[in-house]
Amino acid sequence: MPQKILPHLWFDKEAKEAAEFYTSVFPRSRITNVTTLRDTPGGDCDVVSFELAEFELMAISAGPLFKLNPSISFFLNFDPSQDTRARENLDATWSKLSAGGTPLMALDKYPFSERFGWIQDKYGVSWQLILSDPAGEPRPFIVPSLLFTRAMAGRAEEAIDFYTSVFRDARRGNTARYPAGMEPDREGTLMFADFMLENQWLAAMDSAREHGFSFNEAISLLVRCETQAEIDYFWEKLSAVPEAEQCGWLKDRFGVSWQISSAEMDRMMSQGSPEQIARVTQAFLPMKKFDLAELQRAYAAEGASR
């Protein structure tokens, strides 16, 4: 089944460079497309599609407006039941990702794992490397994780319930709650939980400790829609901050940024001529919610850019 939800990374100028680095770190990885959007408000922007261990992501070089932080990170599950060299591969991956980066939790043994570390790499993307417990249902190698901090601390479970009500093929997975005595985290809030949306695993955690970050647009979750009706559905369900609506982007009531995009638009932007890409770009820049028919008309139009 095609991947429905793609993490989207915002860089100043380094999207292609970062994608090249990540595809050198992970097996079964490749850059699948690079498209340059011309004459945007931020100038020319590279949009990069790539796969890491067959997990799809996108990145854009669109200026210094947003700064990456650990509010959305990526679990890397090294599962000894599926890889006899899981520990060695974890350590090797840590070594590559930590070059020029900043450890957030040292690579070590913890009560929840024999081997775990949390690193923010040299580009600002955060990774949680864990030697997984092979008991129970296997998880994918890469799982995006949402950290609910500041005013949103304690609302991770509410968010999971909301997201699983909005998306199809959705369900809860494992849940671990904070016990008493873990202040400032409240007893019963989520130390860790994972959940499935559209047959994809994500994770969520609460942290009431002092953090200098919260969700922002630097990492968004892009939803590929097949029809205008589907675009309309997700836009209506998720958008909660009208002033954040722009170019298919929205913010939900928890501050998480989403892009409600179109599989057809992906095709147009990856396969179109420079003139077609330019017309589609100029068509979508003034939009809030995407109008798929208007984008198709721009793509098919003859003559000069709109």
**pLDDT confidence of residue 305:** 43
222-280 pLDDT per residue, tens: 999 999 999 999 999 999 999 999 999 999 999 999 999 999 998 898 889 989 999 99
What per-residue string of b and e applies to 171-197 under the rule 16 or more CB within 10 Å gives b? eebeeebbeeeeeebeeebbbbbbbbb
The domains of the chain are located at: 5-67+216-300, 72-206
**Domain 72-206 in CATH 3.30.720.110:** yes
pLDDT at 37: 83
Q: What pLDDT is recorded for position 127?
A: 98
pLDDT number for residue 114: 95
For the domain 5-67+216-300, what is the CATH superfamily, name and number?
Answer: 2,3-Dihydroxybiphenyl 1,2-Dioxygenase, domain 1 (3.10.180.10)
E strand map for the chain: 5-11, 30-40, 43-52, 55-61, 72-78, 102-110, 113-120, 126-131, 142-148, 171-177, 190-197, 200-206, 219-225, 249-251, 257-262
pLDDT score, position 2: 85
**Residue 304, pLDDT score:** 45
In the prediction, which pLDDT does 306 show?
39
Structure tokens that stand for 306 in this block? 């709109």
Q: Dihedral angle at the C-alpha atoms of 84, 89, 200, 251, nearest 10 degrees?
A: 160
The residue ranges of the chain whose pLDDT is under 50 are 303-306
Task: State CA 250 to chain mean position distance.
Answer: 14
